[in-house]
Structure 1
Amino acid sequence: MATNDYSDWRLDDAAEDIEVDYSAWETTSKDAIILAIQCSESMHTVREELLKSEDEDEKGKGRGRTSFEIALRSTVELQKRKVVVGPNDSVGIVFWDTVRSFAFSQKQGDYRHMYVYKEVGLITAESIQEQMHLLARAQEKNPTYLRKRFQPSTEHMPISDMLTACNAMLRTGAPKSGTHRIFLLTDEDDPTAGLPADRRIKLLQSARTRAGDTYEKGWNIIPFFISTPEHTFDPSKFWREALSREGEEGGSSTGEGDLVSGFEELLREMQVREIPRRTLFHVPLILAEGITIDIKGYGLVTVQSKGQYKYLADRDGMLKEATVKTTYIDKDDQGEVPKTDIRYALPFGKTWGDEQQDEPMEVDETEEKKPKMRGRRGNILVVEGVPAVTRHEVLFTPERMKELRSMVLEPSIKLLGFKDRGELTFFDNVKHSVFIYPSEDDYTGSTRTFAALLQSLIKKDKIGIALSVTRRGYTPQFVALLPRQEELDSDTGAQLLPPGLHMIPFPFADDIRESAYDQLMQCTEHEKDAALAWINKLTIRAGYDADNYPNPTLRLHYKNLEAAAFNEAFDPSEFEDLTVPNYASIQKRAGKLIEQFKDSVDADKRSAGVVAVATGAKRQADTTVDEAEVRAKHSSGQINKLTVVQLTGFLRGRDIVPSGKRKAELVEQVEQYLSKHG
């Protein structure tokens, strides 16, 4: 492509080439987790129900016989998933309430009764295999092997010291990660039991202070409480208050944690919690002139896909990762074109090639009154009665294109007004919404102001209308701000859904199409009742939880990768697709009702005359032709046997504007191209 000649420049995908600064997103997409597992005497106690499960069920083997072993196996499975899904994430493992101690650093001091099994760092196949070998030795020997290896201490480590050590490890091991979290696994519901009241209060207050320090950094603590048949974990004794956030009372959602008992439960809960809430954007929300608060946007729905593969180059018998680099090449001298010489071009005017669309013939009585086409002259379309318009490209620099795209607006969400809740229709939601939540990073008091706005919208049944630019260089869009009220568990008081605003992008006029449909037959009331009977039987009362039905294609892909990375045997025939309906359960619960529904439909006289007529799909003409075939036709003198559509497609595929509709003109143009390019 000539750097000084823009006559042939086209802009098919200009919008995709606009460079947007993603450096902030790349930083925040990294995740850092510390798995803090309690190593107390109760965690090492052999559980009879787990031993019985191993003896009676082959599947029960290798899942752990103590709570500590269950926790350790779950962390291994979590790392095996993360090494495939998030290879840039960091993980650390610590055991607390152990005899062995670890001095993190001279500045931080000696944290008694804490052993660092794995420093915070990138997950590697070697570190996971080392943990797997440890668990294999524990399985081969007796259940007390891990207890001898990691002996429990006779006194509890203060929770405040444990949290301080975890914070220090996260700060030094993964300082640039976007999310920092502490996964806390314990079966001790009251680590201060038996202590004097004043000592207990002091330990509780210090634990809450350290937890508050963690939350202030934007980090999170996620507890997993392990229950046994003999003892049900009670978070209200200590953890509910110790891990509560500032301003929360005893019913903290953080302090409630997840109550689990076995390996499968713990693994499922950890996999659900493992996915971090990544910030999509962090912008100011302008409520009025001089009134601005700070908010963050979170994606509630995202597309999961297989990981990006990498290119490897063989260098002296060693495979090294190849760096991908995009360059622009001058089509005339084949030299590299610097980015500073790149311009964007938008076509202006018409040429003969723009009139190549095949349109159905119509009889028009006013045909004689239309302007007559007199001919063409290069890139000029000459029409009788219409001034000649030269086709050319209007050039823009990359900076100017960004300005045109974003309309020179800074990233922000500006509130424009309010509407009734009923004004937002189902058809307005054509894209995924974004959940916005207040932040105190830039503007103090944002949470209080945001809460007042949210409660006012809910009370008056209104929605907000705003203008949104979430990132620099993005196109502005009008959005609806739909309020969502906080939902709490009726039994425990734990938070199920946080309060906030759903930001729903409004569609443009051409985003909505009127769908034509025929009038369908209406079923009778008896048929409706028969359908509702089996629908009610099969309805999931607790609601649909997508985390319980992972994508089977991705799961199988990850299982194969894990087997290859860890040299494990994997039989695809044993893979379980959790999205397959449980037909046996369906038949048991609603089989008779479904049969009754079918009978009621078959009894309807209208169903007897309904016949589905298959319509044949019209075969599309093949318009593709490769250069080898064209050259073969040209060499044998049979290029005239190619169709007009094929000749036009060949020229357009090489960025050549066809000079006309006539076959002779297209053949001449193709022959000129073949002669010029050998």
Structure 2
Amino acid sequence: MFARDDAREGAQSAFEAAMRACFEFCRARVVVAPDDVVGVVAYNTSKSIGDASCAFERVCVVQRMDAPSASGALELSMFASEGGAEAFKARFGCLDLEDDGSTPATGVDLNQEDALTRGLWTASHMLESAPRRAGGKSVYLFTNESAPLRAGSRGDKLMSRAKEMAALGQRIEVLSLTTNGVFDSSVFYDAFTAEHCGARDGESALVVVEDGYELQREFLKKSRKRRRLKQTTLWLVPGAVGVSVGVYSLISEAKKSASILVDGKDLGEIRREQTYVCNDTGAQIDKPTKSFIEYDGKQLVFTNKELANLKSIKMERVKGKDAVGFHLMGFVDAETISRDLTLKKSHFIAAEETVSGSCATFQALLRVLVEQNKVAICAFARATRAAFRYVALIPQLAPRELRGDAASSEAVARLDPPEGFHVFYLPFRDDRRHPERMVAPRARPFPRADEEKIDAARRVVDAIRLTKWHPNQIPNPALQTHYRVLEMCALERNVMEPVHDDTEPNYEEWERVNVPALLTDYEQKCFAEARLFEELAGAGDDASGAPRLAGQKRKAIAAPSGKRVTMEASTIAPEYNYIIDKVKTDALSALTNDALKNYCAAHGLSLSGNKQQLVDRVAAHVRKVAADALE
């Protein structure tokens, strides 16, 4: 475990790779999952360190079960850094033939079977005594020993222990490292993980890797959770035949943690409170009883009960909670759903066996749609008081069934979605926009590229083609920098660990394949005509005399200098006569900023300033041009 392996990058030992993976896991959990509980156990040690209730020979509790913290991650980083193996041996000891000089003749049994069994006992006890907030219970076993059995043993003791842990809902995942490029899992771990470990669907409980970086990636991938947003129903017959499904968000933008306002003296958190005050009496009220919607310059007032009735779902033969969920409308060809119909971020649904037969019904529908290349169109209601939205359910088979076992492992490594339906939100006719009408000129045909320009672009594309690239492998550099700053402050360090930005182009590789020259040639072929026209018009240089680079915004050739001058209207447009009544009753403040700015734009007034300035500007204009109407 402590011996260096030349087959790994930097001749890293298996111990250093495992500790680095544990450190990266705990460091990530401090930010993304602070409510989790994490513990670390080492087996086959010469010392025995643990609680009185779970103290076993040759087992040490490196970290007790607790919420992930910066101090805990810092402790693991000491063992993962240079000299960490010696620090670990000094604190916990080890029973390794090369390290303590023991031989079987001394009576010390160097096989790991008993030590590993006791280590699993300790891990199981720590999981059961952990706070109840821990939901899924997982044990990740790091090893580089493919045969942890004594001579003549079949591993029955380990098999029995794993089976008992599985009965308690504790899943075991084996993360193994090769030794000199070799790890024979057929000796024991194939049977161990196949029968008793209970991995997630579509994944294997045994991972064999060679490099420490691969070990970190596999560990983080297996520990990642897909949290269910909600549970709802896929109705095949409204109110009668339904399939229970879970709704998931497979992709969600990771955002920086929000700051909290604190008091300057005691650093206590400052909480914000919102109160409502009646505009007529000035009395404090619990909640506004009425709301208005502006339409055609008028305020349409509704009570909260009336608005609730307008938003409530009314569907024939379905009432109450049965109206919530996905209601099947029919099926269309998959080619009907194109990428330009994307309305919002998609979700994912998978079957849940809360009702007997739900999974079988779901799987049958899924496979038939894949075979016939169809998608299901449904009316989706998020809640009883939410409006219907049309969605397309796009089927997704498990990678192993769709592309074979070889492609399955690659898809799982990329965190491809599991088996189920992608929920594709569809627009209504009113939601469609036509940007091509704004871009395409009407006076002359839209310019098109000729074959010479297309060939230049083709050479650039061929030269900068990415291989083995997937967005799941690219961390957000801004977010990683934010986490490193928080970590530096929490650990009271003076220097932040460097963050590698994987979004930057590989300029060294670009130089090797002559990309800069190809880009220059591409630019010359595409922008030569535009530059010639600008030079003839005298607009090729900027104010300093330097030539303008391609891609920079053009300046208007004959545009006059100075700001645009507008003429203030001397009368009020008929559609804004209601503003006179607002001025009479001193109720301009009830109008929205958009309504005030619309008035200003229609009458040549400035649009700048806050709401009070807009109110004063509108009132002054009305009093100036419509003084007679105010009397």
Q: Taking structure 1 as the reference length, what is the TM-score of the superposition?
A: 0.66
Quick one: which of 292, 296, 321 aligns to 2:269? 321
CA apart distance, 1:460? 0.7
Native 8 Å contact 1:96 1:114 kept in 2 = yes
Q: Over residues 273-322 of structure 1, what are the superposed CA-to-partner deviations in whole Å (9 max), with x where a residue is unaligned?
A: 554212122222223364332222221221121102122225xx643333
1:453 corresponds to 2:401 = no
Counterpart check, 1:486 vs 2:398? yes
| Residue aligned with 1:450, SS | helix
Equivalent residue for 1:476?
388
Task: Give the structure 1 partner of residue 304 of structure 2.
Answer: 396
Distance 1:81 1:485 in 2: 31
Q: Which amino acid counterpart does residue 263 of structure 2 have in structure 1?
A: A
Tell me the residue number matched to 1:286: 235
Give the match for residue 501 of structure 2: 577
Tell me whether 1:233 sits opposite 2:183 in the alignment: yes
Partner residue, 1:13 = none
* 1:469 partner letter: A
1:587 paired to 2:501: no
In 2, the alpha carbon distance for the partners of 1:604 and 1:660 equals 52
Kept in 1, the 8 Å contact 2:312–2:384? The answer is: no
Which residue, 447, 471, 474 being the options, matches 1:546? 471
1:414 counterpart SS class: strand
Partner SS, residue 662 of structure 1: helix
Tell whether the 8 Å contact from 1:244 to 1:252 is kept in structure 2 after alignment: no
The amino acid of 1:404's aligned partner reads: K
The SS at the match of 1:313 is coil
Contact 1:284/1:413 (8 A) holds in 2: yes
Cα 1:205/1:473, change in 2 over 3 Å: farther
After TM superposition, give the deviation of residue 604 of structure 1 in Å.
Answer: 10
Are the equivalent residues in 2 in contact too, given 1:282–1:295 (CA < 8 A)?
Answer: yes
- May I ask how many residue pairs the two structures share in their alignment? 538
Residues 299-338 of structure 1 aligned to structure 2 (within 5 Å):
299-314=249-264, 318-330=266-278, 336-338=284-286
Return the letter of the residue paired with 1:68: F
C-alpha distance in 2 between matches for 1:220 and 1:513? 50
What's the secondary structure of 2:435's corresponding residue?
coil
- Alignment deviations for residues 490-511 of structure 1 (CA, whole Å, 9 cap, x no partner): 5485363332211111113233
Deviation at 1:103, TM superposition (A): 7.0
Letter in 1 for 2:554: A
Contact 1:207 1:243 in 2 (8 A): no
Choose from 117, 124, 130 the match for 1:173: 130
- Structure 2, unaligned stretches of length 5 or more? 96-109, 315-319, 535-550, 567-602
Q: Distance in 2 between matches of 1:303 and 1:619?
A: 41
The one of 431, 443, 453 aligned to 2:344 = 431
Tell me, yes or no, if structure 1 residue 128 matches structure 2 residue 73.
yes
Distance 1:595 1:286, change over 3 A: closer
Aligned residue in 2 for 1:146: 88
Q: Which one of 439, 449, 458 corresponds to residue 523 of structure 1?
A: 449
The 8 Å contact of residues 187 and 227 in structure 1, kept in 2 or not, is answered as yes
- Contact 2:351/2:359 (<8 A) preserved: yes
Task: Please report how far the alpha carbon of residue 87 of structure 1 lies from its aligned counterpart in structure 2 after TM superposition.
Answer: 3.3
Rounded to whole Å, the distance in 1 between the matches of 2:527 and 2:282 is 73
8 Å CA contact retained: 1:221, 1:254 = no
Structure 1 residue 160, shift from structure 2 partner:
7.4
* Bigger shift: residues 127-136 or 478-487: 127-136
* 1:140-162, Cα deviation, whole Å (9 max, x unpaired): 5x843313433346332587775
| Preserved contact between residue 179 and residue 276 of structure 1 (Cα < 8 Å) | no
Instruction: Give the match's secondary structure for 1:128.
Output: helix
Using CA pairs under 8 Å that are at least 6 residues apart, name the structure with larger relative contact order, 1 or 2. Answer: 1
Match for residue 414 of structure 1 among 304, 309, 327: 327
SS at match of 1:224: strand
One-letter amino acid matched to 1:588: R
User: Residues 475 and 502 of structure 2 are in contact (CA less than 8 Å); yes or no, is this contact kept in structure 1?
Assistant: yes
Distance in 2, matches of 1:668 and 1:152, equals 99
2:142–2:174 contact (8 Å) kept in structure 1 = yes
Asked if 2 retains the 8 angstrom alpha-carbon contact of 1:76 and 1:131, the reply is yes
Aligned to 2:622: 662
CA-based RMSD: 4.6
Pairwise CA distance, 1:51? 11
Q: Greater strand share, 1 or 2?
A: 1
Compared CA separation, residues 251 and 297, structure 1 to 2 (3 A): closer
2:291 equivalent to 1:345: yes
SS in structure 2 at match of 1:393: strand
**1:225-251 CA deviation, whole Å, 9 max, x = no partner?**
2224x1433445444443348999999
Q: Partner letter of residue 327 of structure 1?
A: T
1:614 equivalent in alignment to 2:574:
no
